[in-house]
A and B are shown apart, each in its own frame.
Chain A
Amino acid sequence: MIIEFLELFVNAGFWAATVRIACPLLLATLGELICERAGVLNLGIEGIMTAGAMVGWTAVYLGADLSLGIIFAALIGAIFGLIHAGFTVHLGASQHVTGIGITLLAASISYFAFRLILPTSTTPPKIKAFEPIEILYLSDIPFLGPIFFQQTFFTYLAFLAVPIVIWFLNRSPFGLAVKMAGENPMALEAQGINVLRIRTIAVMIGSALMAVGGAYLTMSAFNAFYFGMINGRGWIAVALVIFAAWKPERAILGALLFAGLDAYQVRAQQLAGAVIPYQFFLMLPYVLSIAAMVFAAKSTRYPKALLIPFRRGERH
C-alpha cells in the first residue's frame, strides 16, 4: 500500500499536473505580491480572479482570439485594481473592507453578466482552449519532456511571468519605486515621486495578473466557466505571499508545493478513497495555507507601510 502511494511520485503525469495546477496560483500570488510590495493589501483577489476567468472565457466564446482573451482578462483586472486603488490609496479607506467589497462586487457582476450571456445553460459550454505545444526535441526527453515541454502556451507564459516580475521589482526604476512605496513612502515623496500614482499603477498591474491567473482556469484548464470555480484559490494566494516572504522567486516554490499537494491529493484519493473520505483530501490546501502562514509569520518581515494609507503632508 505504501509503495503505491510512493509510486505516484515517479509518474510523469503527476508532475505535469503539478506544473499545470501551479499556474493560476503562481500568477495570482505574483499579482498580490506586487500590490503588497507597494503597501496595499488586495483582498479583491478572489473576485478579480472570478472576473478574469469569466471575461477571458466569454471573449473567446464570443469569437475573440485566445490571446485577445488573456488581454481582456488583464484589462478587467486592471479596472477592478483601479477601483481598489481609488478607495484605498486615494481615499485612504480600510484595505480590508474595500478588498472584501471588491471581491463581492467582481464576483457578483461576473455571475450576473455570465447569466445574461448564457441565460439557461445547465452544462456549461466549453471553448476551444489553449492546446499543448510540444517544444521541438526537448519534448522528447524521457520523463522531463512531458512535464516541462508539452504544456500549453498559457503555462509557459505563467512561468515566464516569474523572471519578468523579479526583473521588474529588482532592476527596473518603476519596480524600485513600487518597493519604496511599500517600505518608506515619505522618502519616495521627498524624491519628488508621486506615491499615490506609483501605488495605483502597482495595484492595477497586480490585479491584472490576478485576473489572468483566473483566466488560466477557464482558458487552459477547465475550458468552461463554473459558478464558484475560483474556490478559495485567491485566499490561498494571499497566504502564499506571506509564505514567500514577499519575494517573487520564492512564490514559484510555494505555488509548486501547493500544486503538487493538490495533484497528489487527487491521485491519493483514488487509492485511499474507501478509507479516508474525499473531503479530508480537499481540505488539505486550506489547512496547509493556514499552517504556512503560522510557519512564516514568525520569521518574515512585512513591507513596512503595508495597510497604512499615505496622505501627502500628513505624518505617521
Chain B
Amino acid sequence: MRLEVRETYSPALSIIAPFGAIIFSLLCAFVLLFIAGAPPIESFFYLIKGAFGSPNALAETGARATPLILTGLAAGIAFRAKFWNIGAEGQLYAGALAATFFGTGLIHLPQFLMIPFLFLVGGLAGALVILPLVILRQLYKVDEVVTTLLMNFVILLFVSYLLEGPMKDPMSLGWPQGSPVIDNGVLPQILERTRLHLGFLIAIVVAICLWVLLSRTAFGFRIKSVGHNPSATYHAGIPLFKTVLVVACLSGALAGFAGITETTGLKGYLTLDLSPGFGYTGIAVAMLAALNPIGIIFSALFLAMIYVGADSMSRAVNVPTYLADVVVAITVLSVLVSLILINYKIQIGKLKF
C-alpha cells in the first residue's frame, strides 16, 4: 500500500468523501442487523420513522442534537488547534453542576437574565476544569488526552458525591438527583408538548458565532496556524501559550453549555445519567463535519437521528441499542479515511483511489 500526495485539490471529492464515510457506516449497520437476525431493510424503515416519522419524533431528534452540537463544537475548536480535549463529558457535568448550584434557588433573576446567567456560569465551570490541564500541558508537556480523559472519571465521582450528599434534592424520595431548576431558569419549549427546547436554537446560534470567529477573525486564523505548525506560529510572533489557553477554555465552556441545556432544558434537574456519553459522541460529530462549525450542526443532527431512530428501531425489531454506538464509532474511523483520501492517493497493489 502506498500514499501519494494529490497535486490538485478537488472540491468535489472533499464533499463526496464524508458522504462516502456515512454510506460505509450505514452499510456496516446493515451487516450487523443481518447478523442480529433482524430484517435490515425493514429495520432501516423503523429507524427513519423513529427519527422523522412524526412531529414528536422530529422534536426528539432536535432535542438529542442540542448537546451534540455543543460537544461537537467543543471538540471541533480544540482539535483545530491540535489540543486533544477528550474531556467534554466531564466538562458537561461541570456545567450541569453550576446550573444546579446557582439555578435551584440560590439566585433569582428575571427569565431574560437568568438563562444567560446560567450559560455564563456553566461555561465558566467547564473552562475551569480544563484550565489546570492546559497549563500542565503547556508548561510541563503533560499529555492532555490522558489527563482530560482521567478528569472525566474524577468529575463524575464528584457529581455522584454531591448528588448523594450536599446537593441531593430532599424531595427526591431517596434518588440521587439534584433539586429542580427554578422556573425562570428553565429553557422554554419550542414546540408544545415535546422535549424540543430553546437550547436547540441557542446551540445553532453558538455554532454560527463560532464559525464567524474561526473564519472571519484574526483569532480564528491563529487557532488554525497553531494546529498546523506551532513553531512557525511562535516565530511569527503569535502568542502560543495564550492562544492554546483560550482555545482550551473555549472548548471547556462549550461542553459546559451542553450541561446547561441538558439540566435546564431537557431534564430540569441534575442526575448521574444526564449524559449517555455526549462528550465522546461530540468527537464523532466534529470529525464528521471536518471540524467546521456549520457542518457540526448537520452532523449532530445526523448522529441524533441515528440515536433516536435506533432507539425505536431496537424496540421494533429487537436489536440491542448499542448498534447506534457502533455506527457512530465506524463513522469516526471511516471519516478519518475519507479525510486522507482528500489529500492523498491511496494505491493498494494495482488499485488506485
Binding site for B on A (CB under 8 A): 43, 83, 87, 90-94, 96-98, 100-102, 104-105, 107-109, 111-112, 115-116, 119, 231-232, 235-236, 238-239, 242, 277, 279-280, 282-283, 286-287, 289-290, 293-294, 297-298, 311-312
Is the CB–CB distance between A289 and B150 below 8 Å? yes
A19 to chain B, nearest CB (A): 24
The answer on a CB contact under 8 Å between A289 and B141 is: no
Contacts of A311 in B (CB 8 A): 3
Expressed in whole angstroms, the Cα–Cα distance for A238 and B340 within the complex equals 27
A93-B340, A294-B136 as given contacts; A112 in contact with B32, CB under 8 Å: yes
Tell me the minimal C-beta distance from A32 to chain B in angstroms: 11
Contact A297 B333 (CB under 8 A): no
Does B145 sit within 8 A of A, measured CB to CB? Answer: yes
A283 touches B86 (CB 8 A): no
- Assess the B336–A101 pair: CB atoms within 8 A: yes
Q: Which residues of B contact A297 (CB under 8 A)?
A: 136, 140-143
Which of B145, B323, B329, B340 is in CB contact (< 8 Å) with A104? B329
Contacts of B330 in A (CB 8 A): 105
Contacting pair A235 B149 (CB below 8 A): yes
CB of A232 within 8 A of CB of B332, answer no
A111 touches B143 (CB 8 A): no
B183: CB under 8 A from chain A?
Answer: no
> What's the minimum C-beta distance from A209 to chain B, rounded to whole angstroms?
19
A107 to B147, CA, bound (A): 20
Interface size class of B (residues with CB under 8 A): 35 or more
How far in angstroms is the closest Cβ of chain A from B167? 12
Residues of chain B touching chain A, judged by Cβ–Cβ distance below 8 Å, are: 1-3, 32, 35-36, 79, 84, 86, 136, 140-143, 145-147, 149-151, 153-154, 157-158, 160-161, 164-165, 280, 283-284, 287, 318, 320, 322-323, 325-326, 328-330, 332-333, 336-337, 339-340, 346
Q: Return 17 A-B CB contacts under 8 Å, by A number.
A: A83-B333, A87-B336, A91-B337, A101-B336, A104-B284, A104-B325, A108-B325, A109-B326, A115-B322, A116-B36, A279-B160, A283-B157, A289-B146, A289-B150, A290-B151, A293-B143, A311-B3
Residue of B nearest to A282 (CB): B157
A239-B164 Cα distance, complex, nearest whole Å: 30
Do A87 and B84 contact each other (CB < 8 Å), given the known contacts A104-B329, A290-B147, A297-B140? no
For the complex of A and B, the 8 pairs showing the least CB-CB separation, nearest first, are A108-B325, A115-B320, A104-B329, A105-B329, A279-B161, A101-B332, A112-B322, A111-B322
**By DSSP majority rule, is chain B's interface helix, strand, loop, or mixed?**
helix
Cα of A91 to Cα of B3 in the assembled complex, Å: 7
Whether B151 and A279, one on each chain, are in contact in the complex, defined by CB atoms closer than 8 angstroms, is no
Interface pair B284/A111, CB less than 8 Å apart: no
| Alpha-carbon gap, A31 to B17, bound state (A) | 34
Q: Which of chain B's residues have a CB closer than 8 A to the CB of A287?
A: 150, 154
Q: Which of A102, A111, A312 lies at the interface centre, i.e. has the most chain B CB atoms within 10 A of its CB?
A: A111
List B contacts of A312 (CB < 8 A).
2
Task: Tell whether, in the assembled complex, residue B328 and residue A290 are in contact, meaning their CB atoms are under 8 Å apart.
Answer: no
- 15 extra interface residue pairs, beta carbon distance < 8 Å, beyond A97-B79, A101-B336, A239-B146: A43-B145, A87-B336, A91-B337, A93-B339, A100-B86, A100-B280, A104-B284, A107-B325, A115-B322, A116-B36, A119-B320, A277-B165, A289-B150, A293-B143, A297-B141
- The answer to whether A242 and B143 have CB atoms under 8 Å apart is yes
Which residues of chain B come closer than 8 Å to A115, judged between CB atoms?
Answer: 320, 322
Contact B346 A238 (CB under 8 A): no
Instruction: Write the nearest CB–CB distance from A72 to chain B, whole angstroms.
Output: 18
- Complex Cα distance, B317 from A116, in Å, reads 13
Q: What CA separation (Å) do A294 and B2 show in the bound complex?
A: 39
Query: Which residues on A sit within 8 Å (CB–CB) of B158?
Result: 279, 283
Q: Which of B140, B165, B320, B337 contacts A294 (CB 8 A)?
A: B140
Q: Which residues of B contact A119 (CB under 8 A)?
A: 318, 320
Say yes or no: A286 contacts B336, CB within 8 Å: no
CB-based contact A286/B326 at 8 Å = no
A279: chain B residues within 8 A (beta carbon): 157-158, 160-161, 164
| Bound complex: CA A282 to CA B79 (Å) | 30
Q: How far is the CA of A107 from the CA of B329 in the complex (A)?
A: 9
Instruction: Select from chain B the residue with minimum beta-carbon distance to A312.
Output: B2
CB distance from B236 to the nearest CB of A (A): 22
How far is A279 from B158 in the complex, measured between Cα atoms in Å?
Answer: 7
Question: Which residues of A are found within 8 Å of B157, using beta-carbon distances?
Answer: 279-280, 282-283, 286
- Which residues of chain A are near B326, meaning CB under 8 Å? 105, 108-109, 112
Q: Which residues of the partner chain A approach B141 to less than 8 Å between Cβ atoms?
A: 297
Q: Find out whether the CB atom of A112 lies under 8 angstroms from the CB atom of B161.
A: no
User: Which chain A residue lies CB-closest to B37?
Assistant: A116
Bound CA–CA A294/B157 (angstroms): 22
Known: A91-B346, A115-B322. A100 touches B283 (CB 8 A): yes
Taking the closest CB of chain A, its distance from the CB of B74, in whole angstroms, is 14
Q: What is the minimal beta-carbon distance from B148 to any residue of chain A, in angstroms?
A: 10
* Complex partner residue of A101 from B140, B149, B318, B333, CB under 8 angstroms: B333
The closest CB in chain B to the CB of A300 belongs to B141
Distance in Å: Cβ of A145 to nearest Cβ of chain B: 35
A83 to B333, CA, bound (A): 10
- Chain A residues near B332 (CB, 8 Å)? 97, 100-101, 104-105
Task: Give every chain A residue within 8 A of B318 (Cβ-Cβ).
Answer: 119
